[in-house]
């Protein structure tokens, strides 16, 4: 085989398909939407705690310290940050691997939430 025929056969070979959001497909977006519902459970809990803690402290006439603000905001924002990270990591993976990434991310959100509750208590 000569170098000319080798380069010609390499040029005629189809380029591998790029994976990303454009090639996510319906099943990939369905997985992302279902995972979003699971993450929204923790997001809703974080927002409810943010509103509840601020209202409770205001009702008692106590000012919130910076540490309490950091805990409450971290509890509310953690699910959103981890979901976006899982979405970006999973965009190039197969559907089974994408499900696994979202499941691991949900576990990370649960651990972060429990850690922040333990720090507050």
Grouped pLDDT means (10 residues each) for the chain, 121 residues: 55 58 79 94 90 89 87 91 94 91 95 85 70
Round to whole Å and give the CA distance between 86 and 78: 12
Say which residue the tokens 């805990």 belong to: 71
pTM (2 d.p.): 0.76
Round to whole Å and give the CA distance between 49 and 101: 27
SS3 93: coil
Round to whole Å and give the CA distance between 66 and 51: 16
Q: How confident is the model at residue 53, as a pLDDT?
A: 86
Indicate if the alpha-carbon torsion angle 60, 63, 67, 73 is positive or negative.
positive
């Amino acid at each position: 085989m000569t170098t000319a025929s080798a380069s010609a056969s390499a040029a005629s070979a189809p380029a591998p398909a790029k994976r990303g959001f454009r090639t996510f497909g319906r099943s990939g977006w369905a997985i992302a939407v279902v995972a979003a519902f699971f993450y929204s459970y923790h997001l809703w809990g974080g927002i409810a705690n943010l509103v509840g803690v601020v209202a409770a402290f205001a009702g008692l006439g106590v000012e919130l310290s910076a540490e309490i603000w950091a805990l409450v905001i971290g509890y509310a924002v953690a699910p959103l940050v981890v979901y976006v990270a899982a979405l970006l990591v999973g965009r190039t993976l197969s559907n089974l691997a994408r499900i696994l990434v979202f499941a691991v991310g949900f576990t990370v959100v649960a651990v972060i939430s429990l850690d922040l509750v333990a720090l507050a208590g």
